[in-house]
Amino acid sequence: MRHSAATCPSPMPLPVELLWQTGWPLAARLFWSRTASIPGLPRDDLAAHFWSGDKERCKLASRTFADLLFAAGRGEEALAALMLAADTVIPQTFEIVLPQLTYALKHLWSWPTVSKTRADTLYRLITWWRAARGDFVDDGRSIFLIAGKIETLDASGGLPPPSSEHTASNKHERSRNDAPQPPSLVVMPKSRATKLNNYHSEFNDLVDARLPLVVARDLAATRKSLMSEYPHATTAIDLILRSVREGEPVHVAPVLLVGPAGAGKSRLVRRLAENLGLPVYRYDGSGASDSMFGGSPKGWGNTVPSAPARAVNQTRVGNPVLMVDEIEKSGTATRHGRLWDAILPFLERETASRYRDVSLDCELDLSWISHIATANSIESLPAPLKDRYRIIKVPAPSLGHLPQLATGVLKEMALENGEAEFVHPLAPDELAVIARAWEQAGLSLRKLRRIIAATLEARNATALKH
């Protein structure tokens, strides 16, 4: 009975449901949960790419899902995967989605719903068709986001004329005159590079590649959500965000976060970057990293480019965050040369914009990287290094912060479990138990997570018994 799966009553076909999502992550999450029960999908293998936050890797993973789902006879889900792989910058990616999606919407699928009718859905689909026509090639946002926004602006029923004729001359004129170009950066211009050797094959497609620069959006919301998550670090958040401007590419001047272990410094950096849409590349200052920060010269057997170059290559963004964790611990790790000396040139924007990577033997523009370091103390750091960083204190949280911190942790855990809507607040007695345990653990945020997790487990265990 092959049919049973296809005809099983479902509230809304997955592609239709995806059309109503207002952002790629929401659509992706829905897809992820709705395909969970399909046997034989190598979800674990694809998860790292699918959730990487990197557009190209997401697209590749989505296309792989589509192939596998078609092969498994699950065309609706496969079509949904192709929707996730659609890229407004490349209108052709819509061509293998829209004919079938439109037909199925009009003639095949039906769903019992009052609020989102077939006509509404077809109307929403027009934005997708416009993307196929190339109306949003300069936009850079996901089609889910654009469709969600346009619907409210454009309810009159009129269809704007095509914005581009797809002819070369016309397109050039557009980009010169009116169309705002998304900010981007060539990190590795070909004119300043010598031939790469085979240790660097992964860097080949960085040559002359125009990488996007992540632009700051909704700074006020970012500030608010970080402040509620880190009530003890509001000064630090304020100082960091001060150098970021709404609507401009994000660049945070070098910052060194100093505070006791467990104050949540590294996590704060990650959350900050997540909120700003920036990828993070982590370098372990305590010497656990097996490669040098400054890279090793070309001509050495196993030559490695500098950490900032690796960061850009891995994240495929011109302005990632490079986080050096526990920078003060590198003092004694002399085996790779001193991190402190190696990091200095990158902290000076002027120098970083023309950095000659000894391994790639190429001049790179690394001036858009945000350097954020963490340290438990800074006594041992040399003065030149301290001069280059803005040093910001992140104090340990106090018991008074507990209710707010606990709420943040709960939300985060719910999100990780894929059930954002189900945050069950802690009862006063639970909170009291947590407070005692946390105090004994030295008010470390890392330990707070574990304590709360244990409390929830205990709660679930008792709930099961009754």
Partner 1 sequence: MSTEDDGDGVNVLRLREIKSYLRGEAPSLSVLAKAPQLRSWRLVIADVRTADDRPRLLMVLVGHVSGHPHFIDGRFIRTSELIWLDRNRNWARSWNRVYQLGAASSDGAALGQSEV
- Give residues in contact with partner 1 (CB under 8 A): 2, 6, 66, 69-76, 78-79, 82, 95-96, 98-100, 102-104, 107-108, 122-123, 126, 129-130, 132-133, 157-159, 162, 165-167
Residues written for the chain: 466
Q: Who contacts 386 (Cβ-Cβ below 8 Å, separation ≥6)?
A: 256, 378
The least CB distance from residue 5 to partner 1, in Å, is 9
Distances (CA, A) of 413 to 166, 247, 409, 420, 438: 47, 31, 6, 9, 18
In whole angstroms, what is the distance from residue 237 CA to residue 302 CA? 40
Please report, as a single letter, which amino acid is at residue 354.
R
Nearer to partner 1, 17 or 365 (CB): 17
In whole angstroms, what is the distance from residue 243 CA to residue 247 CA? 13
Among 405, 419, 408, 310, smallest CA distance to 355 is for: 310
The least CB distance from residue 275 to partner 1, in Å, is 35
In whole angstroms, what is the distance from residue 429 CA to residue 180 CA? 56
Nearer to partner 1, 157 or 428 (CB): 157
The least CB distance from residue 95 to partner 1, in Å, is 6
Q: Who contacts 412 (Cβ-Cβ below 8 Å, separation ≥6)?
A: none
Which residues pair with residue 283 across a beta bridge? 324
The least CB distance from residue 58 to partner 1, in Å, is 17
Nearer to partner 1, 78 or 323 (CB): 78
Cβ-contact 319, 278 below 8 angstroms? yes
Beta strands 370-375 and 321-325 are parallel
Nearer to partner 1, 47 or 119 (CB): 119
The least CB distance from residue 313 to partner 1, in Å, is 29
In whole angstroms, what is the distance from residue 453 CA to residue 438 CA? 12
Q: Who contacts 3 (Cβ-Cβ below 8 Å, separation ≥6)?
A: none
In whole angstroms, what is the distance from residue 229 CA to residue 160 CA? 43
In whole angstroms, what is the distance from residue 396 CA to residue 391 CA? 16
Identify how many contiguous H helices and E strands the chain contains and give both numbers. 21, 9
Helix axes 143-153, 118-133, angle to 10 degrees: 120
Dihedral class, residue 18 (left if φ above 0, else alpha if ψ from -120 to 50, else beta): alpha
Q: Who contacts 78 (Cβ-Cβ below 8 Å, separation ≥6)?
A: 65, 66, 67, 68, 69, 70
The least CB distance from residue 271 to partner 1, in Å, is 38
Cβ-contact 54, 279 below 8 angstroms? yes
The least CB distance from residue 106 to partner 1, in Å, is 9
The least CB distance from residue 440 to partner 1, in Å, is 57
Nearer to partner 1, 66 or 147 (CB): 66
Nearer to partner 1, 97 or 206 (CB): 97
Nearer to partner 1, 103 or 300 (CB): 103
Cβ-contact 308, 322 below 8 angstroms? yes
The least CB distance from residue 365 to partner 1, in Å, is 33
What is the token pair recorded at 458? 């205990």
Nearer to partner 1, 31 or 281 (CB): 31
The least CB distance from residue 120 to partner 1, in Å, is 11
Nearer to partner 1, 66 or 193 (CB): 66
In whole angstroms, what is the distance from residue 452 CA to residue 45 CA? 30
Nearer to partner 1, 78 or 250 (CB): 78
The least CB distance from residue 90 to partner 1, in Å, is 13
The least CB distance from residue 128 to partner 1, in Å, is 9
Using the structure block, give the residue that is written with the tokens 């207002």.
22
Nearer to partner 1, 58 or 206 (CB): 58
Nearer to partner 1, 45 or 165 (CB): 165
